[in-house]
Structure 1
Amino acid sequence: MTMQTENGRGRGGASWWRVLPWVGASALLAAPAVAMRMGADVQWTAFDFIVAGVMLAVPLTVFELAVRASGSLAYRAGVVVALGTAFLITWSNLAVGIIGSENDPINLMFFGVIFVAIAGAFLASFRARGLVIAMTAAAAAQAATAVVALAGGHFTFVIVGFFMTGWLMSAWLFRRAAEEEARSAPPEPL
């Protein structure tokens, strides 16, 4: 006798692969607390734990919503890539700053790119076809950050290219999801 049902869900309604990221996030959040107790040179404040908790909880919650919104693997992968890109931008920006230090105000433009992606997603009503445009717009905004940084005397093409690749890969995955939706849609009546 097995706990799994036909759709891969256990008795609680959530399969192991949907619970595992939450367990992993909890372990990541606990790691600095354990390191502090063991005498490592880790000094986190309550604020640090709150920020880290929010940084982990928000993308995981959005992913949960995406899983419920679409059964398309391409759509879900597009969400994961977009969330991962936004997470890496936020993490690197808060930790050390992408340009100069984390306190350099020019780094705020990188958060503007994430805002472009979020605003575009809402404008697209989270539909795959619209998310293609939103993620492409985020990639274009990301390219603009390199131009602005270069005008300020900073060379950021490698890191910006990495982030642009994430946004463009997400757009490509959403395009695949939109094509899947179009193929599975019933024909329109004449």
Structure 2
Amino acid sequence: MVIPLVANQYIDGEGWSPGDFVAAGIMLFGAGLTFVLIARMGNNTMYRLGAGLGVAAGLLLVWANGAVGLVGSEDNPVNLLYVAVLAVALIGAFVARFRPLGMSNAMFAASLTYVLVTVVALFIWKPTGAAAEPQVGLVNVLGANGMFAAIWAVSGLLFRRASAIGSTSGRRLA
């Protein structure tokens, strides 16, 4: 957050409002706290790496969607569909009770949901009127969203590896 703070001082047109700094701080603190709570549930490095990557994927999804939008601009209502990805990951993690194999399945489901939401956003639900954005670059959107979906999938692979190693989880969050 230091970079935008310095940019605000020296670059014209670069303007984060105080609310932007508060929102960024809340997102970063929330992501850090979430990682610490989830990482404590497993006892091996693969589990912790999977947790870190999953939390990072969620943080990046929220940040990118809020800043510039994942399909078109941040004002495009189709971007709200990406909330489903976070919902699948969170609900899946709680249903799995944070056990490695279940977490793996939840992260793979989030990755699949990400791909499906992108397909719906690009090819099925096309906003009309002021929200229509004909300049959305298909290759750029597919590449960026494919990268985000891959992050969720790699997190799932790390959790799968943690389950093969034999992570003992099941400790309480607090």
With structure 1 as the length reference, what TM-score do the two structures score? 0.74
Q: Per the alignment, in what secondary structure is the counterpart of residue 40 of structure 2?
A: helix
Match of 2:164 in 1: 179
1:126-183 per-residue CA deviation (whole Å, 9 max, x = no partner) reads 111110111111111111112202223563322221111111111110011111117x
Q: Does 1:107 align with 2:79?
A: yes
Match of 1:84 in 2: 56
Task: Find the partner of 1:151 among 94, 102, 124.
Answer: 124
- Structure 1 residue 42: Cα displacement: 2.5
The CA distance in 2 between the partners of 1:65 and 1:78, in whole Å, is: 13
- Structure 1 residue 40: Cα displacement: 4.7
1:77-117 per-residue CA deviation (whole Å, 9 max, x = no partner) reads 10111112112211111111111210111001112211211
Match of 1:26 in 2: none
The CA distance in 2 between the partners of 1:32 and 1:168, in whole Å, is: 31
Q: Per the alignment, in what secondary structure is the counterpart of residue 134 of structure 1?
A: helix
The CA distance in 1 between the partners of 2:112 and 2:148, in whole Å, is: 11
Match of 1:72 in 2: 44
Q: Per the alignment, in what secondary structure is the counterpart of residue 71 of structure 1?
A: coil
The CA distance in 2 between the partners of 1:165 and 1:151, in whole Å, is: 22
Name which structure has the greater RCO, CA cutoff 8 Å, separation 6+.
2
- Structure 1 residue 38: Cα displacement: 3.8
With structure 2 as the length reference, what TM-score do the two structures score? 0.80
- Counterpart of 2:67 in structure 1: which amino acid? A
Give the % identical residues: 35
After superposition, the Cα gap between the structure-2 partners of 1:110 and 1:36, relative to the gap in structure 1 and judged at 3 Å, is same
Match of 1:160 in 2: 145
Contact in 1 for aligned 2:105/2:156 (Cα 8 Å): yes
RMSD: 2.1
Match of 1:37 in 2: 9
| Structure with greater Cα Rg | 1
Greater mean deviation of Cα atoms: 66-75 or 46-55: 66-75
- Counterpart of 2:154 in structure 1: which amino acid? M
Match of 1:4 in 2: none
1:19-72 per-residue CA deviation (whole Å, 9 max, x = no partner) reads xxxxxxxxxx23323332345533222210111001111111112223322221
The CA distance in 1 between the partners of 2:11 and 2:65, in whole Å, is: 27
The CA distance in 1 between the partners of 2:97 and 2:29, in whole Å, is: 22
The CA distance in 1 between the partners of 2:35 and 2:154, in whole Å, is: 17
List alignment gaps of at least 5 residues for structure 2.
Answer: 127-135, 169-174
Contact in 2 for aligned 1:145/1:160 (Cα 8 Å): no
Greater mean deviation of Cα atoms: 31-40 or 73-82: 31-40
Q: State the number of aligned residues.
A: 156
- Counterpart of 1:151 in structure 2: which amino acid? I
